[in-house]
Amino acid sequence: MIDLDEQNRQPAVYNPDRLMRRSTMVVRLVAVFLVGAVLGGVGVNELRDSQEERDRVASVSLVAIPASVGSGGGDVKGVLQMDGQLAVINTGPAPITVVAVAGERPGVLVRGTGKSVLLRAGGTGWVEVKLSLECATAFGSEPLSMRLAVETADRQAREATYPVAVTGSVWHRGVERPCEHLLRVGQA
């Protein structure tokens, strides 16, 4: 080695210890870099998995179908007030709690009774509802857009909508005779 330092003109001395320390430092730096890369990769993978789990738990997918119609009565104007049930199927990947349901269109008004229903993934629950059906207009061809307020497994409030076919449903078949009676009474 040549020492170009002008102030100290002593010949350079070969020092094997100094060379060993440098190679040891390079090996250590490479090891630290590799450990950092591995830990960073694991951290990114865990972060991605955590985000996917949060997305899975927060997703809401369901189906709603008229399930039953019960007791009730009508008035001279041809409007039936009845109790009923709406079957809700959780087609999503995580459990949800149905907190409220509501639907309205000309001739049809559906409101939940306020009782929450917990549904496991792939499970079905029956939500109690109050039906107000105007016999003359309730059974048109358009579906009833039901709004369902749900709480996801991560305690987030979500709202889902689902079109419910009222015409030809259990609700329709269950009120045909009472509607016929009310319409006859109203015409008399």
> CB 112: neighbour CB atoms within 10 A?
22
Start-to-end CA distance of the chain, whole Å, equals 121
Task: Tell me the pLDDT tens digit for each residue of 99-152.
Answer: 999 999 988 999 999 999 999 999 999 999 999 988 888 787 788 999 999 998
Q: What is the per-residue pLDDT for 30? A: 80
- Tokens at residue 137, please? 């207009």
Q: Is the pLDDT of residue 93 over 70?
A: yes
pLDDT at residue 25, as a whole number: 80
Q: What is the pLDDT of residue 65?
A: 93
Angle 124-118-165 from CA coordinates, rounded to 5°: 45
Who has greater pLDDT, 97 or 20? 97
| CATH code matching the domain that covers 61-187, chosen among 3.40.50.12780, 3.90.550.10, 1.20.120.1760, 2.60.40.10 | 2.60.40.10
d(CA 34, CA 68): 64
Q: Is the pLDDT of residue 3 over 90?
A: no
- Given a cut of 90, is residue 90 above it in pLDDT? yes
Model confidence band, residue 19 (pLDDT cutoffs 50, 70, 90): low
Encoded amino acid at 139, one letter: F
| Chain segment 23-72, per-residue pLDDT in tens | 788 778 888 877 777 777 777 777 776 666 665 555 788 999 999 888 77
Q: What is the pTM of this model?
A: 0.67
DSSP string, the chain: -----SS--PPP---HHHHHHHHHHHHHHHHHHHHHHHHHHHHHHHHHHHHHHHHHHH---EEEEEEEEEEEEE-TTSEEEEEEEEEEEE-SSS-EEEEEEEEEETTEEEEE-S--EEE-TT-EEEEEEEEEEETTTTT-SSPEEEEEEEEETTS-EEEEEEEE--TTSHHHHHHHHHHHHHHHHHH-
Residue 5 vs residue 44, higher pLDDT: 44
- Per-residue pLDDT of 155-180, as tens digits, reads 889 898 999 988 888 988 888 888 88
**What is the average pLDDT across 83-104?**
93
Res 125: pLDDT = 94
d(CA 98, CA 109): 18
> What's the mean pLDDT when you consider all of the chain?
82
Picking from 151, 187, 186, 144, the residue whose alpha carbon sits closest to that of residue 167 is 144
Domain limits of the chain? 1-58, 61-187
